[in-house]
Amino acid sequence: MKKFKFLLTAMLLACSSMSFAQFMNSKGSSSATSTSDVAAWHGLRFSYDRTFMSYDYEGADDNNMNGFTIDYVHAFKITQSLPLFIETGAGLNFARWSDSESEEIYGYECEIKNSITTLGLTIPVNLVYGIGINDKMAIKPFTGFYLRANLMGKSKYELTVDGESEDETYNLFDKDDMGDDGTWNRVQVGWQIGTTLDINKFNIGIAYALDFNEIAEKLKSSKFQVRLGYNF
């Protein structure tokens, strides 16, 4: 996690240095290329997500989930003198964690499987700075906030004894299933930071997101993303 934050910070600092250098060049020479040539965009994004679920009490194992997000994004330019944009849109997020263990109980071979599956809808609002490298490439560091609605969350417990299985499924938002202390929140608010490299209409990027509020009591979540996209 610290490595991810350090990498993102270093990339954003590098992008800021490049933009400052280009700005100074454009001030000193009328023939210099201006970063304001970066145009607004809209498109689709697909990302691999690594979600970190951290319990805030001793002895609990963190559940790191794998998943993906499909986003639609739309950017609007907010000033004529600088390549600053507001980017918003909506994304559908899927994530899953699973674990299994085998042991012998009273002479019987037993296998225990646990899994958590979630589905959410995220609406981001990011401030983006577009740094034009040439007429085909641009770097776009961004930061902003997001609202996530947790649409579905299920936990499944399965016990197999000598080939015969029984399972129980729990709704993570149901007080009858989880109890008052274990119920998950339907709404999350957070902050994110990242950068994107555009090559013609295609782009790649990375991002780190951190929820402000706990998803459940003493349970915090954050996310690292690797993104691929296409601008229309």
Structure confidence by residue, pLDDT tens digits, 154-165: 999 999 987 788
Which residue, 190, 185, 90, 187, is CA-closest to 146?
190
Q: Are 49 and 68 in contact (CB under 8 A)?
A: yes
Tell me the DSSP string of 31-70.
Answer: TSPPGGGPPP-EEEEEEEEEEEEEESSTTPPPEEEEEEEE
Residue 16 pLDDT > 50: no
120 pLDDT band, cuts 50/70/90, is very high
Q: CA–CA distance from 39 to each of 75, 82, 95, 128 (Å)? A: 9, 11, 33, 12
Structure confidence by residue, pLDDT tens digits, 184-209: 999 999 999 999 999 999 999 999 99
The residue-averaged pLDDT of 112-116 equals 94
**In the prediction, which pLDDT does 18 show?**
47
**DSSP bridge partners of 80:** none
Which residue, 118, 142, 128, is CA-closest to 51?
118
The whole-model pTM stands at 0.81
The residue-averaged pLDDT of 63-85 equals 95
